[in-house]
Structure 1
Amino acid sequence: MEQEIAVTVDIVAFCNSNNKINVLLIKRKNEPFKGQWAIPGGFVDEDEDLEDAAKREFTEETGIKVKTIEQVRAFGAPGRDPRGRIISIAFLSWINCDENPLAGDDAAEAKWFTLDQLPDLAFDHAEIINAAEIYL
């Protein structure tokens, strides 16, 4: 039995502003979950390194270039994405809160949210942020 599996990457970007931890989210421009907030990320190209893909997607969707990222873990529960069997490798990065995000590519909006006031998130992105929080 042949199974189609796709790989995505996401970056949970944290910053510390006035002793509050913030996370950068994008509002999805396209389905699935159009109009919902999500972690910046996307599909890995066939000949692309995971870290390079994560940095590329982050820059495309937020206008911000990240230098260093650290892998959090993989997320692969069946049904986590309505488009099919998709495994996501999550990374985290600390960036400056003064970075002003500029939505691009398939992001309609990009903005900072404090961790204690997150909106409802697409996919399993609340779980991904929770996993990244252990590094705080």
Structure 2
Amino acid sequence: MALTDFTQPSVTGDTVAVRARDGRAEVLLIRRGRPPHEGAWALPGGFLDEYEQPEDAARRELFEETGLAYPGPLVPLGVFGRRGRDPRGWTISIAYLALLDDPDVAVCGSDDAVEAGWFPLDDPPPLAFDHDEIVATARAMLAEGESVSAGT
């Protein structure tokens, strides 16, 4: 059998970027500038380019959408592929956790993100797709011992 005999999902790389500010963990979100979920808050992320590694796509999208060039390690969070998570079709997201040391890192919306901002990790606004599930996974990982100040 050839690979073309199988249904192919779209694949994205997404990043939960977290910083500690004034003793509180914050998550970086973008406001989507395009459908689906135009105007909604979401995690920075996007589709892999041909033959691009998921971690590379997550870094690229983080930079393109927020201006944040993150050189530190990306901690794998999980693979998210629940049916119906993306109205455009079958999409699998490979999500990563980025732990930032700089509490004053500047971000701005660009590319297909009209805005970027920091929100309390324990109380983010409603999120597009299933990004609330991805953020909850990051919270659980941090509660189990990942340090918010472990990154760069």
Determine if the alignment matches structure 1 residue 79 to structure 2 residue 84.
yes
Q: Deviations over 1:39-66 (max 9, x none)?
A: 0000011111111111000000000011
Q: How many residues align?
A: 136
1:2 offset after TM fit, Å? Answer: 4.1
Q: Is the 8 A contact 2:122 2:139 kept in 1?
A: no
1:27 offset after TM fit, Å? Answer: 0.1
1:97 offset after TM fit, Å? Answer: 2.1
Secondary structure at 1:21's aligned position in 2? strand
Map of 1:97 onto structure 2: 103
Matched-pair identity in %: 47
TM-score, normalization by structure 2: 0.86
Secondary structure at 2:13's aligned position in 1? strand
Paired letter, 1:66: Y
Paired letter, 1:131: T
Q: Which runs of 5+ in 2 are unaligned?
A: 143-152
TM-score, normalization by structure 1: 0.96
List, as ranges, runs of 4+ consecutive aligned residues in structure 1 with deviation greater than 3 Å: none
Secondary structure at 1:78's aligned position in 2? coil
Q: Which runs of 5+ in 1 are unaligned?
A: none
Q: Which residue of 30, 43, 55 corresponds with 2:34?
A: 30
Q: Which residue of 6, 12, 26 corresponds with 1:8?
A: 12
Secondary structure at 2:122's aligned position in 1? helix
1:117 offset after TM fit, Å? Answer: 3.2
- Answer with 1 or 2: which has the greater Rg: 2
Determine if the alignment matches structure 1 residue 119 to structure 2 residue 125.
yes
Paired letter, 1:15: R
1:135 offset after TM fit, Å? Answer: 2.3
Secondary structure at 2:57's aligned position in 1? helix
Q: Deviations over 1:75-114 (max 9, x none)?
A: 0011110010000000000112211101111000000001
CA distance in 2, matches of 1:99, 1:18: 14
CA distance in 1, matches of 2:122, 2:138: 14
